Amino acid sequence: MYPEYMVAPIREDLTSAGFEQLMTAEEVEQAIKAGGTVLLAVNSVCGCAASKARPAVKMAVAASDKKPTKLVTVFAGMEQDAVAKAREFMLPYPPSSPSIALFKDGELVHMVERYHIEGNDLNRVVDNLQGAFEAYC
């Protein structure tokens, strides 16, 4: 767990862009099972979250004609139950922070793992997400 004062600005990076911060396992389950398309960003304090994951999800959503119905986020290393529940929905993919998942009607339809983020150019991550929005939203 990190001190809240350290993560508050990192949380705000996504919440100020329209993402809802999910704090409990129940909130995660309700958001994903609510229907429609749900983009879930697993946020993190790491450098690739700051330089690629958060900018990519914000850019992809802002620039896409087709968008997820709901934008949500959980914070790795903080709300452990919420993150654990999110990762249950992301199976069979292993835990990865940061990561980005797209759900449609409660089912995982697209997954961007850390190695897709860390090992890629920002624009490729954006293109990856926009392609998923086009296919599923």
Q: Which is more confidently placed, 43 or 2?
A: 43
CA–CA gap between residue 109 and residue 37 (Å, rounded): 9
Residues assigned a catalytic role: 46, 48
pLDDT, tens only, 102-133: 999 999 999 999 999 998 999 999 999 999 99
Q: Which residues of 75-106 are buried (b: 16+ CB within 10 A; e: fewer)?
A: bbebbeebbebbbebbeeeeebbbbbbbbbee
Task: Give the domain CATH number at 91.
Answer: 3.40.30.10
Residue 83 belongs to domain spanning? 4-136
pLDDT reported for residue 47: 86
Question: Which two three-digit tokens encode residue 86?
Answer: 């999110």
pLDDT, tens only, 38-94: 999 999 998 888 999 999 999 999 999 999 999 999 999 999 999 999 999 999 999
Q: DSSP label at 50?
A: I
Number of residues that this document lists for the chain: 137
State the pTM of this model.
0.95
Domain count along the chain:
1
pLDDT for 1 beyond 90: no
Residues 133 and 68: beta-carbon distance below 8 Å: yes
